[in-house]
Amino acid sequence: MVVGDFAQGTQVAVIGGGPGGYVAAIRAAQLGLEVTLVERDLLGGICLNWGCIPSKALIHVADLKRQIEHADSLGLITSGVRVDLPKIMKWKDMMVEKLRNGVSSLLAKNNVQVVVGTARLTGDRSFTVEGPDGVHRFEFQHAILAVGSSPLQLPGIPRDGEVVIDSTDALEMTTVPDSLIVVGAGAVGLELGTVYAKFGTRVTMLDGSDKLLPMLDPQIGRVMERALKTFGIELVLGARVLGVNRKDSGAELEYSASGKEQSIVADRILVGIGRRPNTGGIGLEKAGVKMDKRGFVEVDSRMQTSVPGIFAIGDVVTGLMLAHKASYQGKVAAEVIAGQPAAFDGVHVPSVIFSDPEIATVGLTEEDAHSQGIDTKAGLFPFKALGRAMTIGDEGHGFTKVVSDARTGSVLGVHIVGPHASDIIAEGCLAVSSASHVDDLTLTIHPHPTLPESIEEAAEQVEHRAIHIFNPAVLGR
């Protein structure tokens, strides 16, 4: 049923209210444009409601539990910790709701019209929204597609939400499983696998790669392998899932690794093998929007699709599927629509995994640079030599590495695995984005005792002159 026989008009239609869509809507409104935002579910999208925010809440609680359990080594004697998962989930949901209400308030204050329902393009300047009270028709001058992504499923092993689960299900469980198989040792697997291991679950992690985190600096993967062992997580690399047999409670997963077929039984199987863009069923073909063979929308550096006036951002375009990338691209699209000079060109997107220890990277690894024919110099500083890391009892694993161009001295990349890496990386982002010279980092006085001192020391170590680790090669110069 179509409600009414006329179409509502808007200057800018934003389809999707996640971290890309609502940011794009607010920025467009700030620039004086009339904006309509369509969201089929909850404002904030996957990131705020079922991803970034709730997972970090659970990670915080799991970290706190482990700190309390090991507090006796610091002189704090405790009588034990009990996990009340329903209460933890209630607290997590309260945090999410507070942030979601904040997004709603910001949209209202910026005069963004919010429409609830499922949007489908019907042409290159029109779409419909199927909502609670029927179908409404809209016409637009410009549109920004920000419909996000969904978890990939294992072929032949569909999610049922009870035994075979995805990240959303793992963030909603009300009982701590005795055993958990995690398929995929990427960000989702490492973060949620570690959470439940800290809650007391026996965790086995499978990954198809022969190396852990092969896309990152090789030393980061080795640090993480050691860290997983400290949490009692069994890591199986080079694994290929063959099938799942349901049991009375749980399931048996069959897999091959090291040339052998094996099996393992667990209460839950968490699949975290990646995500796919939500480009199906939204009318891209009717609008004439081109996609690549993997289903991503093709865009130029201004985030414009093959159809003038229609833009796409975030997980539906190629690149890292990260909230902060989507937000940045949303601002670019809004500014281009408003006639301002903006582009997603030469931008360095940081990547963070909130594992334990945390991983944060930006720019090129040494291997990346060498593949591009760039000679490098790199400096590495271990957290075990950093006073602040010791005072917070977190010096066991990790390092900060600064990679520079051997010829020009510019900072090409910063790679961190260690405590609060997600916070420290911001300085690395600035250095890489501004093509700072490595001396800009060494000549910046970093307050003591702090974790960001590791950036200064790693930068100094590019020339083997870090103070707080021994450099025998420089003696006698």
What CATH number has the domain bearing residue 133? 3.50.50.60
Query: Which residue stretches of 272-322 are H helix?
Result: 284-287
Q: Is residue 232 part of a domain?
A: yes
Can you tell me the mean pLDDT for 50-55?
97
Q: Do residue 286 and residue 141 come from a single domain?
A: yes
Give the tens place of pLDDT for each residue, 99-147: 999 999 999 999 999 999 999 999 999 999 999 999 999 999 999 999 9
Q: Give residue 386's pLDDT band: very low, low, confident or very high (50, 70, 90).
A: very high
Indicate if the pLDDT at residue 434 is higher than 50: yes
Question: What is residue 435's three-state secondary structure?
Answer: coil
β partners of residue 411: 404
Can you tell me the mean pLDDT for 259-267?
96
Q: Do residue 85 and residue 133 come from a single domain?
A: yes
Q: Give residue 78's pLDDT band: very low, low, confident or very high (50, 70, 90).
A: confident
Q: Do residue 134 and residue 194 come from a single domain?
A: no
In the chain, % of residues over pLDDT 70:
97
Gap between the Cα atoms of 178 and 197, Å rounded:
10
If residue 68 lies in a helix (H) or strand (E), which one and from where to where?
helix 52-69
Q: Is the peptide bond prior to 449 cis by the omega test (within 30 degrees of 0)? A: yes
CATH number assigned to the domain comprising residue 426: 3.30.390.30
Query: Domain boundary at 242, 273, 304, which?
Result: 273
Angle at 183 between CA 278 and CA 226, to 5 degrees: 125
Q: Is residue 477 part of a domain?
A: no
Query: Domain boundary at 273, 290, 318, which?
Result: 273
Alpha-carbon torsion, ordered 246, 247, 248, 249, to 10 deg: -90
Query: For residue 68, what are its two tokens?
Result: 């309390």
Q: Do residue 66 and residue 127 come from a single domain?
A: yes
Gap between the Cα atoms of 27 and 332, Å rounded:
9
Q: Do residue 144 and residue 291 come from a single domain?
A: yes
List, in sequence order, every beta strand (DSSP E) within 226-315. Answer: 234-237, 240-246, 251-257, 260-266, 268-271, 275-277, 310-312
What is the average pLDDT value for the chain, to the nearest integer?
A: 95
Q: Do residue 106 and residue 29 come from a single domain?
A: yes
C-beta neighbour count of 86 within 10 angstroms: 10
CA contacts within 13 A on the Cβ side of 202: 6
Q: Is residue 342 part of a domain?
A: no
> Given the structure tokens 């079922």, which residue do they identify?
50
Can you tell me the mean pLDDT for 253-275?
96
Indicate if the pLDDT at residue 1 is higher than 50: no
Q: Do residue 186 and residue 243 come from a single domain?
A: yes
Q: Is residue 349 part of a domain?
A: no
Q: Do residue 239 and residue 315 come from a single domain?
A: no
C-beta neighbour count of 114 within 10 angstroms: 18
Q: Give residue 477's pLDDT band: very low, low, confident or very high (50, 70, 90).
A: low
Q: How many domains does the chain have?
A: 3
Ordered DSSP codes for 140-190: EEEEEE---EEE--BTTB---SSSEE-HHHHTT-SS--SEEEEE--SHHHH
C-beta neighbour count of 74 within 10 angstroms: 10
Q: Is residue 1 part of a domain?
A: no
C-beta neighbour count of 54 within 10 angstroms: 22
Q: Do residue 368 and residue 456 come from a single domain?
A: yes
C-beta neighbour count of 105 within 10 angstroms: 10
Q: Do residue 254 and residue 212 come from a single domain?
A: yes
Phi and psi at residue 365, in whole multiples of 5°? Answer: -85, 170
Q: Do residue 125 and residue 210 come from a single domain?
A: no
Q: Do residue 144 and residue 281 come from a single domain?
A: yes
- C-alpha distances out from residue 180 to 124, 167, 172, 274, Å: 47, 13, 15, 18
Q: What is the pLDDT of residue 308?
A: 97
Q: Is residue 159 part of a domain?
A: no
Do residues 30 and 162 make contact, with C-beta atoms less than 8 angstroms apart?
no
Residue span of the structural domain in which 109 resides: 8-151+276-337
Q: Is residue 352 part of a domain?
A: no
Task: Name the active-site residue from 370, 448, 464, 468.
Answer: 448
Give the tens place of pLDDT for each residue, 137-193: 999 999 999 999 999 999 888 899 999 999 999 999 999 999 999 999 999 999 999
Active-site residue, 136 included:
no
Query: Domain boundary at 337, 369, 387, which?
Result: 337
20 contacts: CB under 8 Å, gap ≥ 6 = 45, 146, 148, 313, 314, 315, 323, 326, 327, 329, 330
Q: What is the pLDDT of residue 397?
A: 78
